[in-house]
Amino acid sequence: MNPVAVQRIEAGVVAALAVVVTVAVGYPWWWLLVLFLAFDLSMLGYLRGPRAGAFCYNLGHSYALPALVGAVAVIAAALGDPIDWLGVLAVAWFFHIAVDRALGYGLKASEGFEHTHLGRIGKASRGHSRR
């Protein structure tokens, strides 16, 4: 199977898991939708150019930061001082990244927004096959 297809399927599974976790811990699933676009504020880096834009976008669309936020939420809960909103934020962030990846929006290359680790998107994809 094509590695890009595998990554997109995996991302779909992560998105579904984020919904299950959100509901299982007692939060409404629609919180994921309420917070969904907040993480796209990282695209504002493109106002400074493609290099800064790719850096900011990738920082906001890498699983590392929501994992760190989630770890802080889990540690706080384990210490008896839960920070519920932090856990919701982490899961919503995972959900956002996973949905983006499932749709083919990968991490950006400094050549421009259309060049991702999952292939080209938008105008750059016309006439080019995905990897």
Inter-residue contact 59 to 41 (CB < 8 Å) = no
Decide if 130 is inside a domain.
no
Decide if 101 is inside a domain.
yes
Cα 93–Cα 98–Cα 99 angle in degrees, nearest 5: 100
Decide if 94 is inside a domain.
yes
> Domain range holding 37?
3-125
Query: Which of these, 96, 87, 90, lies nearest to 41 by C-alpha position?
Result: 96
**C-alpha–C-alpha distance, residues 19 and 40, integer Å:** 19
One pLDDT digit (tens) per residue for the chain, 131 residues: 888 899 999 999 999 999 999 999 999 999 999 999 999 999 999 999 999 999 999 999 999 999 999 999 999 999 999 999 999 999 999 999 999 999 988 888 777 677 677 776 665 565 555 44
Decide if 131 is inside a domain.
no
Decide if 46 is inside a domain.
yes
CA 27 to chain centre: 20
Output the pTM of the full model.
Answer: 0.87
User: Total domain count for the chain?
Assistant: 1
Quickly tell me which residue has 């889990």 as its tokens: 74
Cα 114–Cα 61–Cα 16 angle in degrees, nearest 5: 105
